[in-house]
Amino acid sequence: MSGIYFDHAATTPVDSRVKETMLPYFDEYFGNPSSIHSFGQKAAEAVDRAREQVAKMLNCNIREVVFTSGATEANNIAIWGVVNRVNEILRQASAFTNVTAGRQDDNNRVGHFITTAIEHPAVRRVYQKLEKLGHEVTFVEVDDAGVIKFDQLKAAIKDNTVLVSVMYANNEVGSVNLIEQIGQLVAEKKQERQEGDLPLYFHTDAVQAINYLDTDVEKLQCDFLALSGHKIYGPKGIGVLYIRAGVKIDPPMQGGSHEWNIRPGTLNVPGIVGLGRAVELVQEEKQMRIDHVAELKKILIEELKEIEEIRIFSAEKNGLPNIVNVSFYRAEGESMLMMLDMDGIAISTGSACSSGALEPSHVLTAMGVEKEWTHGSIRISFGKDNTLGEVKDFVKKIKPIVNRLRDMAPEIK
């Protein structure tokens, strides 16, 4: 399609080099990798190669890499897997104590979960469901830059805390959390646990981070990490869940013995091959991609600041280099999106998974942004192939659109 695409935080086009790598696995090497005949083993070799590519990027063992249908499934497997595991521990303990899942006992051993107020719906809605089921969940607040309050997180960890989920980088405003510092904190808290205590794990949704941040799991000290192929110029429908060796979960799905008995189902070989190649390209080109989108972001922010009554919610230096979340006072975000789309420019009003919702962005609300400003926010997210000319074209077209919408808008008293 022609036009300007500024919505790479929602999805990215498949890199031509990735597509070329995938093609033979649709019809030439089409075997089921679980089959022992030569057709199957040819496919299995490709899966093994992709697993090695992912393990290299994450600095982990190949047996710690689990292929999934995407990051949503990966996040769900991690969280529900821990829930199921803890429930089983408590069930067994209840035969000897008064511990009952969903109720606090004298020993404070009922499982407690910690997450943040700005998680992607793939995580946030799971924890909201857990609350409805009677589990105890703490939602840690963020500051006005969208970064979680570390001291509040530290204070929230209790003797019965079993899982801490903190996204690496936010998909709406591009804020980056101190995952290394949080990983160290959780690791220290683990050391304080005694034999027989509930386990404690650390999980991070790293979907937006893969292109631009360090994802060495040894440095991050995470037990679970989720990533998605379609955010890194790979195909849709494929993702990864990293599970640290020694971590025990009870997977939410049952079936075959695929993926180390964690995620059953015939493997998506073309998708896995494409993800492996996309990961490889990220490693080769990461700094070049960072420098490119950071320059576009810098120029865009400079241009936008010439427009009156705007607020930029993305950090200019400490956040992701490709995301700019900006709000135009008295200009409604959805209207801007549609008018820009008519001009051949694709942007977002926040998370693509939340588009269409009438309520204000939960991320901007958590940052303390007033309702009248959240409605005027849009997200521009650059990719490796965007150009300075496209940025200039966007600025040229957004200015009259904002003016037109402000002229149409009622006065706010």
| Nearest Cα residue to 91 out of 115, 107, 116, 111 | 111
| Nearest Cα residue to 91 out of 219, 250, 220 | 250
Residues 334-362 have a mean pLDDT of 80
Residues 399-407 have a mean pLDDT of 94
- Helix or strand holding residue 202 (H, E): strand 201-205
Distances (CA, A) of 100 to 107, 135, 400: 11, 11, 61
The strand ranges marked E within 172-260 are 201-205, 224-228, 239-243
- Measured distance CA(374)–CA(328) in Å, rounded: 9
| Nearest Cα residue to 161 out of 106, 114, 124 | 114
Handedness of CA 136, 178, 383, 329 (dihedral sign): positive
Distances (CA, A) of 190 to 154, 193, 197: 13, 5, 10
Residues 176-205 have a mean pLDDT of 96
Give the fold, CATH level 3, of 16-280. Aspartate Aminotransferase; domain 2 (3.40.640)
Q: Model confidence over 346-356: pLDDT tens digits? A: 999 854 444 45
Which of 117, 156, 187, 353 is an active site residue? 353
Residues 12-39 have a mean pLDDT of 96
Q: Model confidence over 216-254: pLDDT tens digits? A: 999 999 999 999 999 999 999 999 999 999 999 999 988
What pLDDT does 334 receive?
A: 93
Take residue 158 and report the two structure tokens written for it. Answer: 């209790």
- Helix or strand holding residue 275 (H, E): helix 269-304
Question: How large a percentage of the chain has pLDDT more than 70?
Answer: 93
Q: Could you report how far apart the first and last alpha carbons of the chain are, in Å?
A: 43
Q: Cβ–Cβ contacts within 10 Å for residue 408, how many?
A: 11
Domain 4-12+286-398 and domain 16-280 have a common topology: no
Mark whether 222 is an active-site residue: no
Take residue 117 and report the two structure tokens written for it. Answer: 């107020």
- The CATH number of domain 4-12+286-398, selected from 2.40.10.220, 3.90.1150.10, 3.30.365.10, 3.40.50.300: 3.90.1150.10
In the block, residue with structure tokens 């990220």: 282
Residues 9-33 have a mean pLDDT of 97
Structural domain spans, the chain: 4-12+286-398, 16-280
- Measured distance CA(308)–CA(329) in Å, rounded: 9
